[in-house]
Structure 1
Amino acid sequence: MLYYVLKYALLGPLLRLLFRPRIEGLEHIPDEGPAIVAGNHLSFSDHFLMPVMLKRRITFLAKQEYFTGPGIKGRLTAAFFRAVGQIPVDRSGKEAGQAAIREGLGVLRKNELLGIYPEGTRSHDGKLYKGKVGVAVMALKAQVPVIPCAMVGTFEIQPPGQVMPKIRRVTIRFGEPLDFSRYTGMENEKAVLRAATDELMYKILELSGQEYVDRYAADVKAEEAGKFPRILG
């Protein structure tokens, strides 16, 4: 209930007024049935701006840290994400990827929209990074279409570390659904998963116009933070 109150009575109208989002390709979102909406992730604002533009409810796999933050801010953030039905995912350890896939498949089995960020984390510099294959695994196992999505301008209004967003217009683009049914039954083939994921990331790149980096964002972040030396070659 709170999801729809926020979307239609409180948060939704406010975001539309402040950011006046341009929406392109909304007709690519199916009116019913399960589907995955997979997009770039540039800003904390992405969690709010895209869902309020959709007629249908969308459930995102959200990092567990949003549910475990300290202090008043942490409790408010956790309460908000729980209230709107978002699912916490532990991104640490060997089972993290499998846990996310199980949760995502559960959403799709309910014939709902699943939102996911294939990069696995927010871009720290506005570039588009290599996608993780979990989205391809879910698409093949559930046999559902994947709609690529590009958030344009959200990095400029609220880059990582900035608490309050700047008031500027943003654009949200949805591409034509990707059909990976030709790979049905091959969800355990690494080459197939990589090919499907790269196809998706290329479509997001076309929609967003970002610079692409063929490395995982988490690895680049760790390297730049000095957690391990850069390997040349």
Structure 2
Amino acid sequence: MKVDAMKLKTLIPLSVITLVLTGLFLNHHEASQPLVKLPQKPKMVRYARDVKLSDYGVVGDGKTDVTAAIQKLVDAPVGVLRFPTGQYRLTKPVVIDLNKVGPTSISGDGTATILMEGAGPAFHFIGTHNGTASPKTVQPVVWERERSPMVDGIEIVGKHPEAIGIAASKTMQLTITRLVVRKALHGIHLYERNRNVSIDDCHLYENEGVGIYLENLNLHQ
């Protein structure tokens, strides 16, 4: 079988070009692939029933400083922080800026202990409500993003002379239930303006200062 010389000359360069391009593609494709497939981070969701706190570095071993991890979850925001059984070590206050993060609640089902090793409150709720208890004075953003912050079923143990359990300012409908605060300076510190506060079934025990400290407070409860 005879092969036309011109066709042969054309076929050879095309074959070479095809092989070169294929090699370049494979090299680029392989280089673009990670050597190890990294697990994806859990997707941040709105409700804590879908969040496993340990996936975000929040472990209740009583040794690990989980302050930054909890603050990150609050700021995400996840909305609800539900602590499983354990001891959770904080070294500075976790700030819940309600206007930024929206409605937030913290619960522990009576089996979670927060060890507050820094000065100030373990959890500090900050709102923007400047009105009275009259519904007419409540701004829409307060109803939408700040209403009814909650703390339920946790124990806070002070490990610093100036540790405080919970602090709140300019909140609307702050609700604290089944809270235990021991060995702190103050149990609950309310200052400036807080409206429609509800504190029920709490044990504020063996604290050096005041169980419920009302400082320069404009309060309606």
TM-score (norm 2): 0.28
Higher fraction of strand: 2
Between 1 and 2, higher relative CO (CA 8 Å, sep ≥ 6) is seen in: 1
